[in-house]
Amino acid sequence: MAGVTTPYAGALFEMAIENGSLDAVYQEAFDVLNVFRKEPDFSEMLRNPRIPPEDKEAAILKALAGMDANLTGLIALMLKKGRGAYIEAALGEFAARVKEYRGIIGARVYSAAPLTAEQLSALQEQLTRKTGKQVEIETYVDPSLIGGLLIKIGGMALDSTIKKHLQTLRKHMA
């Protein structure tokens, strides 16, 4: 899939840099990605080969009216080329390029209960200090962890959950 999406994501990135609109295009791409995640019917419509490309293009351009011309142009081009199924991946790759360009890394934080704003802020400060990069945190609640945190960042997993401690204790007692 990267072979298909890379040229589209790269073109959007370069145009946004060139136009000085990187932040605005990134936000709009993020908004479109949220539509894909929240509205599965929207994604299905773009993937459906029985719907003519011009109908898909008309529907999406109507939905994206007022957004950056480069973003809507890219999506229209992908639809015309029969690449509607790859739009979400191309926008995801574009977002990843922007984050890399900005020195931002993502972290997934799993906890047994929701973290407070203060806990998230303190964790973000710690991770930023340790990595030397700005960290965007996505939080997930998993009651099976019992307590503690599981942090996945930059290809590493830091597991300080009670569940993990109990598994380690069980392994040593066996």
> pLDDT for 14-25, tens place per residue?
999 999 999 999
Q: What is the pTM of this model?
A: 0.74
Distance CA 32, CA 24 (A): 12
**Quick one: 76 and 14 in the same domain?**
yes
> pLDDT for 101-156, tens place per residue?
999 999 999 999 999 999 999 999 999 999 999 999 999 999 999 999 999 998 89
Range of the structural domain that residue 119 is part of: 103-173
**Quick one: 124 and 84 in the same domain?**
no
Q: Domain of 140: which CATH number?
A: 3.40.30
Q: What are phi and psi of 106, to 5 degrees?
A: -100, 150
**How long a stretch of residues is the chain?**
174
Neighbours of 18 (CB within 10 A): 10
Phi-psi region of 124 (alpha: psi -120 to 50; beta: other; left: phi over 0): alpha
Q: What is the DSSP letter of 116?
A: P
**Quick one: 88 and 113 in the same domain?**
no
